[in-house]
Amino acid sequence: MSKRPPVVRETVSLYRAKSTLSALVERAAEGEEIVISKSGKPKAKLVPLEDTRPQRVAGRGRGRWVVAEDFDAPLPEEIVRAFGGGDG
């Protein structure tokens, strides 16, 4: 489990955010939330990522597995009984 420091929300101007973006990103990565404002009005929030794993890509494993035609056929009776099902 990752440690989660308390959220410290600071508001910075858009001008300051542009000139110190790298430092603000590092602070956000450490757990801080930073609100970016323009003309005194909140416009965006810089927050830490919860999950940094790459997004899954659909179809990536295509052709790597073979599914038998009878994959959904009923199980043999002795296996059903072994799991407490069936008649006995």
The CATH number given to whatever domain includes residue 3 is 3.40.1620.10
Query: Torsion-angle region of residue 59: left (phi > 0), alpha (psi -120 to 50) or beta?
Result: left
Confidence at residue 54, expressed as pLDDT on a 0 to 100 scale: 86
Would residue 32 count as lying in a domain?
A: yes
pLDDT of residue 50: 83
Q: What is the pTM of this model?
A: 0.54
Write down the pLDDT at residue 60: 86
Asked whether the beta carbons of 21 and 13 are under 8 A apart, the reply is no
pLDDT at residue 87, as a whole number:
64
Query: What parts of the chain have a pLDDT lower than 50?
Result: 1
Please give the pLDDT value at position 45. Answer: 95
Q: Residue 28: name the closest of 45, 12, 13 by CA.
A: 45
Decide if 78 is inside a domain. no
**What is the tally of structural domains in the chain?**
1
HSE, side-chain direction, 13 A CA sphere, residue 34: 23
Q: What is the pLDDT of residue 26?
A: 94
| pLDDT of 85 | 78
| 76 part of a folded domain | no
> Are the C-beta atoms of residues 76 and 54 closer than 8 Å to each other?
no
